[in-house]
Amino acid sequence: MQDKFVVDETVLKRYLAYIQKAHTQADLQKQREYVQMAEDFVKRAYAQPR
């Protein structure tokens, strides 16, 4: 049986908010920082043992 990966809607919304914020930045370095924050946030959100 295959495990299903369930995405929490609040996690997804926060991730998208970070990505949208990155898109509004003119500075490439700032864009990378926001994308990194988004990735780190998702990793933390799903790091808790199940």
Which residue bears the tokens 């990793």?
A: 43
In the block, tokens 């995405």 appear at: 7
Do residues 29 and 2 make contact, with C-beta atoms less than 8 angstroms apart?
A: no
Domains of the chain, residue spans: 9-45
SS3 49: coil
Per-residue model confidence as pLDDT tens digits over 1-43: 556 667 788 889 999 999 999 999 999 999 999 999 999 998 9
Tokens for 37? 């924050």
How many residues are listed for the chain in this entry? Answer: 50
pLDDT at 4: 62
* Count of other CB atoms within 10 angstroms of residue 18: 19
- The reported pTM is 0.69
